Structure 1
Amino acid sequence: MVMLGLLTPQTRGVKVFIKAFRQTNRPRCSSVSCHSDEYIRRFISDNTEIVGDQSLTPEVKLRLFTPTCRFWRERPELWPFEDPYWAIYWPGGQALSRFLLDNPSVCGGKTVLDLGSGCGATAIAAKLCGAAHVVANDIDTVAAVATHMNFELNGLEPPVCQTNNIIGSQPEGFDLIFLGDMFYDEDLATSLHSWLDRCIKTHGTKVLIGDPGRAQFEEHRIRRLLHQLAQFELPESVREENYGLTCSRVWCYRPEL
């Protein structure tokens, strides 16, 4: 699941929203046990807006939160699911998706895992670039439904969506693993570091990371093992509500460094 950190244009209101409903004591039901996929699809359709032009990847359309959406202002206790991190197009994911679209040979014909896939933008970019097989992994089941909807919105067959926590599990043989905005917590960063090492050593997997420079990323020891591949200046509309954030970068994880 993609988590809060430095924010994209739509997120200041969402940050307030998430902070507010975390303070409510109402138990939340899981999307699997309480709601059908049809209900979730209808809910997402009714409570998001199709956007794209304000991001680094205007050719990719996504259903996201905007100020025109109901839950931008609605009482948080009425939200029926877990925190809606899938409804934000985070800056690390934007950079990673832009890099793939600019360099389609990176994933052409490859098997790809988009870890912490959120709205599915990077998985979409991989598929648009000719990836042979795409798996989107996010522990929020609502994110899986949103990813399916976003693939369909872009005229693509939906990917395989996994909602189990695979960090720390036996690595599968993916050619590529993509991580956008996953280094928001030091403990998670350490777990990722160990697991990614195993993926690389076991299968020779190539790992690409998108991050706008969060402290947990810049200060972690994994940072010394990364080679920068690209830097993207964020659009003005993205900068306005990002507390000084102006760019986002793509890195290749090279543990031999």
Structure 2
Amino acid sequence: MPAGVAPVGGSGRRGTIAGVSDLSAAFVRLHASLSPVAFVPEVRLHQADDAIGLWELTEGEFRSAQPPPFWAFAWAGGQALARYVTDHPELVAGRRVLDLAAGSGLVAIAAARAGAAAVRAVEIDELAVAAVAVNAEANGVRVDAELGDVLDGDAGGAEVVLAGDVFYSQAMANRVLRFLLRAARSGARVLVGDPGRAFLPHDRFDELAVYDVPVPETLESVRVKRTTVWQLRAGLPGAGR
């Protein structure tokens, strides 16, 4: 096993954590309690009750300048996408799946539970990668959690690409869309969960399902968000750029 890669999970359900310290995994377990996801109760995640308090802890222990820890909450886009995958396992069963900007790993775990042949979850936040791994372990599934920015590359042979709530800024949306279009042109099926963020290019997607998803009021200022699962149209101009 390469340096910097640690095994997780039980017998027959082993995944990997690439580039993450034991301290990060311990931090996740200590500061976020394991509980069912509101809209996908089949999955349990380490979730924080206090966004601001956890943000302060993260800054104090890791000197991070990042926003509140996205990995500690089940965001609406991810919940909707995980619900859709759980209810339509044929989308991922027997296929190689990539969960982009995985956060807590909710979508990756749903795909693994639905019978995906392999699930790779990528994140740029070390704590998120640790959260993906410990959450996968808690749910008894294998997910390979990877630290890094993959948006300038390709989908690594994934047959299905899943992305929950990634269109929250124009800069992020531009990079994500180019990546997703390349994945689609290479033959991947691309699904996105989005709760009405301003920067999702609706003309590139077809609607698959709409849900009313419970969300943390402290983060979204509402208790429920109308959230859509979209499928990217393949073969659109600019896909290879």
1:56 corresponds to which residue? 39
Identity of aligned residues (%): 32
Q: Who is 1:78 aligned against?
A: 60
Counterpart-to-counterpart distance in 2, 1:43 and 1:215? 33
Distance 1:77 1:142, change over 3 A: closer
Partner in structure 2 of residue 107 of structure 1 = 92
User: What is the CA deviation profile of residues 23-55 of structure 1, one whole-angstrom value per residue up to 9, with x for unaligned ones?
Assistant: xxxxxxxxx6xxx733222222111111225x1
- Whichever structure has more helix as a proportion of its residues is 1
Provide Cα deviations, 1:115-156, integer angstroms capped at 9, x if missing partner: 000100000000000000100000112211111100111122
Contact 1:47 1:70 in 2 (8 A): no
Partner SS for 1:246: strand
CA change 1:170–1:124 in 2 (3 A) is closer
Counterpart AA for 1:141? E
Per the normalisation by structure 1, the TM-score is 0.75
TM-score by length of 2: 0.80
Aligned length: 213
User: Is the alpha carbon distance of 1:87 and 1:167 closer, same or farther for their aligned partners in structure 2, counting shifts above 3 Å?
Assistant: same
1:223 to 181, 193, 202: 202
Superposition pairs for residues 75-224 of structure 1, below 5 Å? Answer: 77-80=59-62, 82=64, 83=66, 84-157=69-142, 159-201=143-185, 203-217=186-200, 222-224=201-203
Report the AA paired with residue 129 of structure 1. A
AA at the equivalent of 2:47:
L
Query: Higher strand share goes to which structure?
Result: 2
In the alignment, what sits opposite 1:243? Answer: 221
Q: Please, which runs of 5 or more residues in structure 2 have no aligned partner?
A: 1-18, 237-241
The answer to whether the Cα contact below 8 Å between 2:85 and 2:111 also exists between their aligned partners in 1 is yes
Task: Output the CA distance in 1 between the equivalents of 2:55 and 2:125.
Answer: 23
C-alpha displacement at 1:171, in angstroms? 4.1
Change (3 A) 1:73 1:136: closer
- Within the candidate set 222, 230, 234, 2:213 is matched to 234
Q: 1:52 to 1:171 in 2, by over 3 A?
A: closer
The residue type equivalent to 2:45 in the other structure is: L
Shift in Å, 1:212? 0.2
